[in-house]
Amino acid sequence: MGKFADRFRVRKPAQVLKEADRKQIHDAALEVMSTVGIRVHSKMARESLKAAGADVDEKTAIVKLDIALTQSLIDKAPSEMVLAGRNREYDLPCDGTHCYYTTDGCGITVWDQRTRSRRLSILEDIIRSARIADYLPYCSVYEPMVVASDVPEGIHVAAAMKQAFDISQKHIESESTSTPEEAMTQIKMASEIVGGAEELRKRHIMSAMVCTISPLTLDEHATDAAMVWAEAHVPVHITGMAMMGVSGPATVPGNLVVNHAETLALTAAMQAHSPGSPAIYGSVLSNMDPRTGAIQLSSPEAMLVCACANEMARYVKMPSACGGLGSNAKVPGVQSALENGMIALVNAVMGVEINNGIGMLDCSTMLSYEQMVIDNDIVERAITTCREVPVNTETLHLDMIKEVGILGEGSKKGSYLGERATMMEAREFFRSEIFSSETYGQWEAKGKKDDLSRANERANMILETHKPDMLDDDISKRLDQIVKESKRS
């Protein structure tokens, strides 16, 4: 693997739940699946589950899986995988030792820092955000971040993915795919890039997000899409979104039971349909505002329940994509930096493998270019804090400590500033590109720029100077043709 993935390596994760707690939640979810069942609107998924031995009621579309069947099916899902980049340097091993941060999708507006207002998102915003994400050193995966209002609804997913494939060398995650036709179109595009469908099964240059519906429901068209992804062995982020107090119980354990049952149900359906297909335990859990019922993606409760969902992913030996940056802030600023900073650090401490949300505000509905570069800064801080601390002869520097000695001891040095090792090692210290660490006088002399002005300048600098390694022209043209064909169909 390239050095890019190494920067996201973190130390052994902390834990919230005891082993007995995880088992109790897991067992409760299995009991729900076997007694209450899951409503599966996809005929394709129902047929595969029935063939595997599930009890299927076609009148109600409720599927019940006994405990042994569920366990045997989810055991078929691979516990590790590699999310590949177009350039192999950006390959991301999902082996439980890294903490990756991605952009998020499906925004419908964009923040304009110049006018301090928001506008409708367009295809150009996907192009611009893909270029920035390709540049940012701590953005590991690009997902098209907005719905292009200037693209016909039937092809907006395909058109967005085409731009993402064109621009970014990193792994590409599809925004929430709602139909099997969309899935098939994207598979054709990815296959063109890697050299065929069989190669795509081995080299996962893209993954897809498929959401369950809480409580205990799998949507028809999205689940059909998951079956298509499974056939092609494209990794699927199974994204449950149970909200505490609305679509799940108002307790962390109760909410986890609902989410765990939904996630295992879609995993089981994928394995029944195509054994060994890669699945990711992806959960974006939250709680309601008790005054309004509004979603709270960045509340302490949301951070806690997502951290626990990550532990449930590890319990069933699946890669984890639980939670991520998701500020409720309506504009970039203090609230978004505070909330995203806390979430990024908690998730790195807990070892959440894949975290989405870079650059999105207002519950992932608004793109901010300024927030993209601020979040990159936040992620670097979190990862740096949670790296392993190597203790060895070189890092202890015992000989140097003896040589430097005590301050003011005469012949001894009394300072480490002039040591060669200090000069080399200090280069690795974190330095923010956005937030000032200068004295007040230095900051004043440079124009007293506030944080958002600096973030805006940096985003503009990236757009002006970064030249992505674009997709081969011939392949790009073939992708254009695939998008056109999907429009006609």
Domains and CATH numbers, the chain: 3-17+74-387+476-485 (3.20.20.480), 393-426 (no CATH)
pLDDT tens for residues 199-214?
A: 999 999 999 999 999 9
Q: Give the phi and the psi of residue 278 in degrees, each rounded to 5.
A: -75, 130
Structure token pair of residue 17: 């739940």
pLDDT at 411 over 60: no
- Per the CB < 8 A criterion, the answer to whether 359 and 142 are in contact is no
pLDDT band, very low/low/confident/very high, at 410 (cuts 50, 70, 90): low
pLDDT band, very low/low/confident/very high, at 412 (cuts 50, 70, 90): low
Q: How far is CA 265 from CA 238, 271, 283, in A?
A: 10, 10, 14
Q: What is the pLDDT of residue 177?
A: 75
pTM, 2 dp: 0.95
pLDDT band, very low/low/confident/very high, at 141 (cuts 50, 70, 90): very high
Q: What is the pLDDT of residue 106?
A: 86
Q: What is the pLDDT of residue 409?
A: 60
pLDDT tens for residues 287-316?
A: 999 999 999 999 999 999 999 999 999 999
pLDDT tens for residues 36-46?
A: 999 999 999 99
Q: What is the mean pLDDT of the chain?
A: 95
pLDDT tens for residues 435-461?
A: 999 999 999 998 999 999 999 999 999
pLDDT at 176 over 80: no
Q: How far apart are the first and last CA of the chain?
A: 40
pLDDT at 105 over 90: no
pLDDT band, very low/low/confident/very high, at 149 (cuts 50, 70, 90): very high
Query: Which residues, listed in sequence order, are joined to residue 9 by a DSSP beta bridge?
Result: 98
pLDDT band, very low/low/confident/very high, at 154 (cuts 50, 70, 90): confident
pLDDT at 56 over 80: yes
pLDDT tens for residues 327-347?
A: 999 999 999 999 999 999 999
pLDDT band, very low/low/confident/very high, at 2 (cuts 50, 70, 90): low
How many Cα atoms sit within 13 Å of 302 on the Cβ side?
28
pLDDT at 421 over 60: yes
Structure token pair of residue 370: 């300024």
Report the percentage of the chain scoring pLDDT > 90: 92
What is residue 152's three-state secondary structure? coil
Structure token pair of residue 231: 């056939």
